[in-house]
């Protein structure tokens, strides 16, 4: 395969520095002398800004410098010789420091020689240790500390006061210093002195900060756009450069013609303005250069900085091919590490496979099918890298051509590797590797149990799919990113994947005390889950739900844990038999229980993931057989209960009125450090909270006990008792920032109430339940709190996003070294052992070593 | 049996050994069983070791950043008995990680030695700690315009409560107002300006300033609250001043703490600051009902304090200390970093992640680390 002789080069390091005028001239491919862009035929003018020596952006033309065509030629710099020197805006402050701290006559540093010699090494060392900024700061301190008066310690010349009139005018004793003069002074600064400022003499000369030559960026980085009308629209940079060239030419002409000094100066200032805005169009004191439409030009600085700039958008942000995105929907019959890919996607995305003698026949079948018939192929790639599209017409030809060494880009097949992702990708479980299952219809499908790590739901969420294209990428994805390898969260060391919603309700109903079914039914249920070995099921006429569940458990598994239920708070599994306790969210749910963690520890990731899949299917299948719904009558209360709640509210209301009366009489004793009014509020809040809690208890007692709503609340599948109480009993106090609602009108919350009314009704207490319906004032109170919550989320997201970005940026280079220490990119030690004990959280059990498990293991041999 | 555990002193953490001891006694293990247990634990720990090259930094960043979206913004937590507000939730985490020198709600929990921890003189002690101002003891201010004087009548019961006498008060007031002539007569203190012909405005301003005059207590502590926690009396304060509080003989300086990390760094040193960061962030995360392993917080705290200074995770703090120009430029203010790099002729040796992403090269963490070496003939 001699045609594949790619040389892979690696960038070892990148140096930064400034270019000298001489170097700029040497690098330049052309000298630009005219602001004209194209001649009458639309051909780029020689010596113009679009000169084809600077590269080509038109199809058909060839670059005069390198001879390559469009897209091959990367472009070449040109230059303008400026008629008069101009200050580079970005270095304005450095120039000022240099002018102020060097002698105006001899350009030496304004420090006595002895002092320089004594501190030189110290300063340079400081620069090497803490960076040049620290060095410059120290130098400044030394200069202010060395009281030299206003005489140069070297040549005794009197120094003048130098000020800057921003952005680029320097004044010496109110008299303007021209850039020529400044350049002359900077030229005289010796390399040794410059080094003390932290300027590296190898890369920078101070006078280079005053421009005499302006480099012209290649046309390829400022391409023009041809509008539909055939008109050319030039890039912002070209516009700006045009201005510069135009003014520069006029300045030349005026100088040569011997125009009055004042005209030359004006033009010079204008040139300075244009050059300044060319570099940075957001200088505080200058009006930004604008388009004719009035919108500011985007010049060099704006191109680089901010999120949409070159660095964050183009350099650090990568784009990819072989990816797809669409709406997701659930499919519990998929395995957890599978993703359902619609057929249309599978036909567009492809996997390259190398043709060898042994798989030739196999791959030929794909090519035979062509791009339209699944499973087919879209492209064949010749060994020299040429891609050939397979179309209906070229199938025959491609088949004939195909031989070992070729690549076939075939359609996706079941079992191919893909990376699945949902944004925002906040943690590593947001991008996991799945195996592909090509399915009909047009959504991407995933097992609902993996929703939690992705934080996905199916109300219209979309997700992305990526197909790794190399063997290396595929194996890395499979070994490191497969769903089962991500089971244990590196955040807290417990399973992030577990049963959700129906799967929890189902298992709860199955394993609850008294759940029974005939053996036939049990076998039917288990078969639907995918079990075919029923030997573990007791050979009795009727079996309990716990026995059915136990069939799934591995034979040797023992576990003791807790459940959410108050009737059966203990969960005991012994030798693969569920003896006591119900399966609810505490054990099956994500991020909560140790049962899944223990299964993982004992049987490994693959076994656990398939077990969770079985649990999940058992739960949903159970519900399908049993029927599961929710209804308004689930929230029906008995007449007595309703009366009880009424009485409770009456009593609370009375006590509140008592308190208010005490407050008004001034007999209310204030809490220490609180005013009487605050005390009143706190006491009322307490009363009302008690009332709501008691309502909750009444509701819990008197609502139909075995309703499906209760099942959901008790198993932890969805909703809590609070939600039920709000639906059946009363919504309760609406709290705004931890207080009762007190904003709105003067001295009152809404115009429905009297001024200074402290009663529960007037301050956001909702007596009604969602079922009975809210009164108008209650509705307003709920909306107030609802909107506050909405605002809170809207304001929080960007804040926490920024925190996350900063954290990620600061910590991204920290890695564990071979000696177990944590080091940053430059090898500095941050921790001697990761987390003080070197334990990987994602390999631990909730961040710890599970001593009791190990101990019982030892005891039992 | 003790020596069985002693053998593992260097290889297992103290807490694990202690727990193992408990487990062994509970299970009534023999020496050989205990040894087996310890060996099993050691084996377990070795299995849990982090793999070299693991990019633990990013994992920690994710572990703190991801739950950030779930935290509530404006939660105010009530310390002790529904008293003082303390910033909690996301704003507090941001405050800590920013390394802000002035925090929104500084606070201290002062533990006391016996007998004060049993409630002796607790109110008095609290009042002594609280920063008192003239306004706290003044009953009335009267301005005499013709004489340019301000008379302040003092509430005697208030001074007594502070444990001061009139003489102490006058001395304190004199010390704080050296530009005024201060005289006292009975229950009134008279302030006289040295310049005559002050306008009413100036006198009024002076009066407002006088109200804030420091007369006693510990500066910076604006509120005190004695509380009883776990059968023990202690003082919770708003405002913090460790330097003054810790040397007090009544104070148990080992347990007393402040939530002002910058102050902790100044008074107790960088190690204490590191621990304070871990504790404070953990407190917030815990109060929000979130679950984040402490190791992640340790790593963040260690990064913030690794070079001996308390640095925030900002462009001025931790990020500015990075060796790589491109890494700094890719975070914030890219122009500044590139220009400076040019001036100083910096060289980026591409040892961290982001530069290699920019250049499409393997990143030097995890699976990007192993390299293949070939012997050339």
A contacts of B334 (beta carbons < 8 Å):
304-305, 309, 311
Interface of B with A in 323-342 (CB under 8 A): 323-327, 329-331, 333-335, 338-342
Q: Which residue of B has its CA nearest to A674?
A: B83
Task: Name the residue among A488, A496, A413 with its Cα closest to residue A848.
Answer: A488
Report d(CA A258, CA A264) in Å as an integer.
Answer: 9
Which CATH number is B52-105+259-321 given?
A: 1.10.1790
The helix, strand and coil proportions of chain B, stated in percent and rounded to the nearest 5, come to 45, 15, 40
B contacts of A829 (beta carbons < 8 Å):
306
Interface of B with A in 38-57 (CB under 8 A): 40-41, 44-45, 47-57
Cβ contact, residue pair A16, B361, below 8 Å: no
Is A507:A618 a contact under the CB 8 Å cutoff? Answer: yes
Specify the DSSP class assigned to residue A315: I
Banded model confidence at residue B302, pLDDT cuts 50, 70, 90: very high
B contacts of A126 (beta carbons < 8 Å):
none
Report d(CA A618, CA A269) in Å as an integer.
Answer: 81
> Residue B232's beta-bridge partner residues?
B229
What's the half-sphere exposure (Cβ side, CA atoms, 13 Å) at B230? 1
Report d(CA B50, CA A835) in Å as an integer.
Answer: 10
Q: Which of A675, A803, A817, A842 to mutate to test the interface with B (most CBs of B within 10 A)?
A: A803
Q: Which of A426, A455, A486 is the last residue of a domain?
A: A486
A contacts of B57 (beta carbons < 8 Å):
810-815, 822, 824
A contacts of B74 (beta carbons < 8 Å):
737, 792
Rg (chain A; Cα; Å): 38
In the block, residue with structure tokens 């020529």: A180
Instruction: Give buried/exposed letters for A181-218 (b at 16+ CB in 10 A, else e).
Output: bbbebbebbeeebbbbbbbbeebbbbbbbbbbbbbbbb
Q: Do A510 and A481 have their domain in common?
A: no
Residue A167 counted as domain residue? yes
Task: Tell me, yes or no, if B76 comes closer than 8 A to chain A by beta carbon.
Answer: yes
Say what the pTM is: 0.87
Cβ contact, residue pair A803, B97, below 8 Å: yes
Cβ contact, residue pair A811, B300, below 8 Å: yes
Instruction: Give buried/exposed letters for B270-304 (b at 16+ CB in 10 A, else e).
Output: bebbbbbbbebbbbbbeebebbbbbbbbbbbbbbb
Cα B253 to its chain centre, rounded Å, is 16
Is B231:A681 a contact under the CB 8 Å cutoff? Answer: no
Cβ contact, residue pair B81, A859, below 8 Å: no
Considering only CB atoms, B19 lies closest to which of A199, A797, A851, namely A851
Is A111:A148 a contact under the CB 8 Å cutoff? Answer: yes
**In sequence order, which residues have a C-beta less than 8 Å from that of residue B82 and are 6 or more positions away?**
A671, A674, A682
Interface of A with B in 299-318 (CB under 8 A): 301, 304-305, 309, 311-312, 315-316, 318
B contacts of A801 (beta carbons < 8 Å):
69
Strand pairing class (A78-87; A30-31): parallel
Cα A435 to its chain centre, rounded Å, is 25
pLDDT value for A222? 87
Q: Which of B12, B40, B66, B81 to mutate to test the interface with A (most CBs of A within 10 A)?
A: B66
Cα B90 to its chain centre, rounded Å, is 16
B174/chain A closest Cα distance in angstroms: 30
Report d(CA B284, CA A286) in Å as an integer.
Answer: 46
Q: Which of A211, A235, A262 is the last residue of a domain?
A: A211
Report d(CA B190, CA B197) in Å as an integer.
Answer: 17
Report d(CA A44, CA A51) in Å as an integer.
Answer: 6
Cβ contact, residue pair B348, A844, below 8 Å: no
pLDDT value for B223? 79
Q: Do A448 and A330 have their domain in common?
A: yes
Residue A612 counted as domain residue? yes
* CATH number for A617: 1.10.274.100
Q: Do A689 and A750 have their domain in common?
A: yes
Q: Do A753 and A640 have their domain in common?
A: yes
Does residue A478 or residue B39 have the better pLDDT? A478
Report d(CA A33, CA A45) in Å as an integer.
Answer: 10
What's the half-sphere exposure (Cβ side, CA atoms, 13 Å) at A612? 35
Is A810:B313 a contact under the CB 8 Å cutoff? Answer: yes
Cβ contact, residue pair B54, A671, below 8 Å: no
pLDDT value for A674? 63
Q: Do A356 and A473 have their domain in common?
A: yes
Q: What is the mean pLDDT of each run of 10 residues along chain A (861 residues)?
A: 62 89 88 83 82 81 81 86 88 85 80 77 75 75 72 77 82 84 86 81 86 89 83 85 88 85 87 89 83 85 84 88 94 91 93 93 90 90 88 88 91 94 92 95 93 92 95 92 90 86 88 85 88 84 87 85 80 84 82 79 87 89 88 85 87 87 79 70 83 86 84 84 85 80 82 83 86 89 88 86 90 90 89 88 82 76 60
Domain with A418, as residue range(s), is 323-486
* CATH number for A748: 1.10.132.30
* CATH number for A354: 2.40.40.20
Instruction: Look up the ipTM and state it.
Output: 0.87
Residue A42 counted as domain residue? no
Query: Does B323-365 carry CATH code 1.10.150.390?
Result: yes
Is the Cα dihedral A534, A540, A542, A543 positive or negative? negative
Residue A234 counted as domain residue? no
Cβ contact, residue pair A812, B61, below 8 Å: yes
Task: Name the residue among A56, A51, A43 with its Cα closest to residue A79.
Answer: A51
Is A95:A187 a contact under the CB 8 Å cutoff? Answer: no
A768/chain B closest Cα distance in angstroms: 27
Q: Do A671 and A580 have their domain in common?
A: no
Q: Which of A440, A458, A486 is the last residue of a domain?
A: A486
Is A229:A259 a contact under the CB 8 Å cutoff? Answer: no
Return the HEC string of A430-456. HEEEEEEEEECCCCEEECHHHHHHHCC
Q: Do A610 and A715 have their domain in common?
A: no
Residue A26 counted as domain residue? no
pLDDT at B80 over 50: no
In chain B, where the domains are located = 2-48, 52-105+259-321, 132-216, 323-365
pLDDT at B28 over 80: no
Tell me the per-residue pLDDT of B114-166, one tens digit each, with 9 for 90 and over. 777 777 777 778 878 888 877 777 777 887 777 777 788 887 777 777 777 77
Report d(CA A833, CA B251) in Å as an integer.
Answer: 35
Rg (chain B; Cα; Å): 29
Cβ contact, residue pair A810, B63, below 8 Å: no
Q: Do A674 and A767 have their domain in common?
A: yes
Topology of domain B132-216, CATH? Gyrase A; domain 2 (3.30.1360)
Report d(CA A224, CA B318) in Å as an integer.
Answer: 42
Q: Do A466 and A573 have their domain in common?
A: no
Calculate the alpha carbon distances from A133 to A128, A130, A538, B318, B326 in Å: 10, 8, 79, 15, 17
Does residue B199 or residue B315 have the better pLDDT? B315
Cβ contact, residue pair B62, A428, below 8 Å: yes
Region B219-226: mean pLDDT is: 81
Domains identified in chain A, total number = 5
Is A502:A509 a contact under the CB 8 Å cutoff? Answer: no
The helix, strand and coil proportions of chain A, stated in percent and rounded to the nearest 5, come to 45, 15, 40
B192/chain A closest Cα distance in angstroms: 35
B contacts of A670 (beta carbons < 8 Å):
none
């Amino acid at each position: 395969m001699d045609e594949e002789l790619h040389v892979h080069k690696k960038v070892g390091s990148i140096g930064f520095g400034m270019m000298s005028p001489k170097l700029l001239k040497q690098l330049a491919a052309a000298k630009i002398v005219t602001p004209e862009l194209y001649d009458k035929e639309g051909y780029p003018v020689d010596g113009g800004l679009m000169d084809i020596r600077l590269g080509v952006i038109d199809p058909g033309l060839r670059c005069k410098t390198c001879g390559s065509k469009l897209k091959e030629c990367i472009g070449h710099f040109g230059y303008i010789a400026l008629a008069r020197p101009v200050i580079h805006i970005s270095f304005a402050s450095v120039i000022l420091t240099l002018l102020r701290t060097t002698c105006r006559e001899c350009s030496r540093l304004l420090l006595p020689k002895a002092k320089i010699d004594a501190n030189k090494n110290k300063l340079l060392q400081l620069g090497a240790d803490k960076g040049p900024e620290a060095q410059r700061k120290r130098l400044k301190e030394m200069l202010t500390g060395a009281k030299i008066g206003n005489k140069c310690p070297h040549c005794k010349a009197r120094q003048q006061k130098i000020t800057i009139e921003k952005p680029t005018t320097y004044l010496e004793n109110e008299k303007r210093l021209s850039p020529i003069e400044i350049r002359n002074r900077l030229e005289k600064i010796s390399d040794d002195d410059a080094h003390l400022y932290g300027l590296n003499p190898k890369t920078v000369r101070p006078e280079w900060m005053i421009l005499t030559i302006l480099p012209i960026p290649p046309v390829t980085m400022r391409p023009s756009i041809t509008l539909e009308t055939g008109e050319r629209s030039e890039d912002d940079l070209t516009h700006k450069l045009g201005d510069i060239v135009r003014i520069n030419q006029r300045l030349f002409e005026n100088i040569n013609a011997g125009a009055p000094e004042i005209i030359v100066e004006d033009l010079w200032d204008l040139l300075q303005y244009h050059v300044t805005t060319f570099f940075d169009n957001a200088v505080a004191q200058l009006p930004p250069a604008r388009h004719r439409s009035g919108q500011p030009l985007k010049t060099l600085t704006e191109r680089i900085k901010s999120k949409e700039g070159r660095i964050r958008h183009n350099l650090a942000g990568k784009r990819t091919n072989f990816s797809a995105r669409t709406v997701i929907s659930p499919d519990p019959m998929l395995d957890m590490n599978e993703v359902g890919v619609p057929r249309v996607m599978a036909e567009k995305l492809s996997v390259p496979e190398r043709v060898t003698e042994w798989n030739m026949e196999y791959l030929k079948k794909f090519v035979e099918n062509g791009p339209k018939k699944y499973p087919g192929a879209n492209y064949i790639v010749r060994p020299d890298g040429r891609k050939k599209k397979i179309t209906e017409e070229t199938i025959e030809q491609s088949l004939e051509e195909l031989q070992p060494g070729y690549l076939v880009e075939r359609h996706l097949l079941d079992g191919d590797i893909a990376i699945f992702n949902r944004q925002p990708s906040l943690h590593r479980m947001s991008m996991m590797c799945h195996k592909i299952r090509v399915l009909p219809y047009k959504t991407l499908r995933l097992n609902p149990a993996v929703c939690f790590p992705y934080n996905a739901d199916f109300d219209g969420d979309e997700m992305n799919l990526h197909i790794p294209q190399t063997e290396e990428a595929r194996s890395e994805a499979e070994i490191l990113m497969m769903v089962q390898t991500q089971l244990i969260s590196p955040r807290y060391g417990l399973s992030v994947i577990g049963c959700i919603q129906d799967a929890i309700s189902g298992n709860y109903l199955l394993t609850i005390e008294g759940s029974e079914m005939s053996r036939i039914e049990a076998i039917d249920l288990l078969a639907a889950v995918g079990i075919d070995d029923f030997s573990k099921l007791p050979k009795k006429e009727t079996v309990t739900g716990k026995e059915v569940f136990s069939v799934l458990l591995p034979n040797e598994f023992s576990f003791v844990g807790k459940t959410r239920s108050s009737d059966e708070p203990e969960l005991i599994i012994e030798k693969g038999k569920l003896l006591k306790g119900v399966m609810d969210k505490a054990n099956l749910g994500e991020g909560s229980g140790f049962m899944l963690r223990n299964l993982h520890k004992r049987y490994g990731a693959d076994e656990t993931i398939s077990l969770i899949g079985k649990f999940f299917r058992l739960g949903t299948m159970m519900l399908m057989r049993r029927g599961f719904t929710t209804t308004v009558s689930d929230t029906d209360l008995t007449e007595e209960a309703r009366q009880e709640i009424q009485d409770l509210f009456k009593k609370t209301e009375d006590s509140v009125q008592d308190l208010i009366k005490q407050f008004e009489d001034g007999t209310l004793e204030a809490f220490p450090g609180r005013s009487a009014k605050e005390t009143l509020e706190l006491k009322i809040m307490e009363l009302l909270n008690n009332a709501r809690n008691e309502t909750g208890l009444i509701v819990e007692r008197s609502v139909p006990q075995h309703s499906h709503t209760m099942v959901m609340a008790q198993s932890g599948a969805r909703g809590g008792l609070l939600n039920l109480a709000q639906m059946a009993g009363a919504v309760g106090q609406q709290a705004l920032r931890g207080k009762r609602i007190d904003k709105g009108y003067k001295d009152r919350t809404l115009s429905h109430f009297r001024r200074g009314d402290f009663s529960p009704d007037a301050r956001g207490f909702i007596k009604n339940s969602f079922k009975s319906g809210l009164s108008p004032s209650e509705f307003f109170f709920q909306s107030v709190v609802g909107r506050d919550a909405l605002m809170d989320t809207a304001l929080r997201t960007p804040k926490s996003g920024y925190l996350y970005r900063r954290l990620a940026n600061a910590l991204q280079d920290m890695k564990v070294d071979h000696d177990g220490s944590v080091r940053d990119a430059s090898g500095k030690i941050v921790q001697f052992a990761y987390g003080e004990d070197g334990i990987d959280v994602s390999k631990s059990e909730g961040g710890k070593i599970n001593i009791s498990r190990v101990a019982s293991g030892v005891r039992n041999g | 049996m003790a020596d069985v555990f002693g053998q593992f002193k260097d290889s297992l953490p103290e807490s694990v050994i202690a727990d193992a001891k408990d487990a062994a006694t509970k299970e009534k293990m023999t020496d050989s069983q205990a040894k087996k247990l310890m060996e099993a634990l050691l084996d377990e720990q070795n299995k849990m070791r982090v793999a070299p090259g693991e990019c633990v930094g990013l994992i920690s960043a994710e572990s703190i950043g991801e739950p950030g979206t779930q935290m509530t913004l404006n939660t105010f937590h009530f310390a002790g008995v529904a008293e003082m507000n303390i910033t909690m939730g996301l704003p507090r985490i941001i405050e800590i990680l920013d390394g802000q020198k002035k925090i929104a709600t500084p606070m201290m929990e002062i533990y006391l030695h016996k007998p004060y921890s049993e409630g002796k003189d607790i109110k008095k002690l609290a009042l002594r700690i609280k920063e008192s101002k003239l306004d706290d003891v003044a009953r009335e201010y009267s301005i005499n315009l013709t004489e340019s004087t301000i008379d302040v009548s003092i509430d005697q019961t208030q001074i007594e409560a502070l444990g001061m006498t009139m003489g102490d008060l006058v001395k304190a007031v004199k010390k704080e107002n050296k530009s005024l002539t201060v005289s006292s007569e009975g229950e009134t203190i008279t302030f006289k300006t040295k310049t005559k012909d002050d306008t009413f405005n100036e006198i009024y301003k002076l009066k407002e300033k006088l109200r804030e005059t420091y007369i006693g207590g510990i500066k910076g502590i604006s509120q005190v609250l004695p509380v009883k926690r776990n059968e023990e009396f202690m003082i919770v304060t708003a405002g913090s001043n460790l330097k003054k509080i810790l040397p007090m003989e009544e104070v148990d300086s080992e347990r007393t703490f402040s939530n002002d990390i910058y102050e902790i760094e100044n008074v107790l040193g960088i190690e204490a600051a590191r621990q304070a960061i871990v504790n404070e962030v953990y407190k917030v995360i815990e109060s929000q009902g979130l679950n984040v392993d402490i190791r992640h917080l340790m790593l963040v705290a260690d990064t913030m304090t690794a070079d001996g200074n308390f640095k925030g995770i900002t462009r001025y703090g931790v990020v500015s200390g990075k060796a790589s120009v491109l890494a700094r430029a890719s975070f914030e203010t890219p122009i500044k970093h590139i220009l400076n790099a040019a001036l100083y002729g910096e060289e980026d040796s591409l040892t961290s992640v982001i530069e290699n992403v920019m250049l499409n090269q393997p990143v030097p963490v995890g699976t990007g680390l192993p390299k293949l070496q070939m012997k050339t003939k």
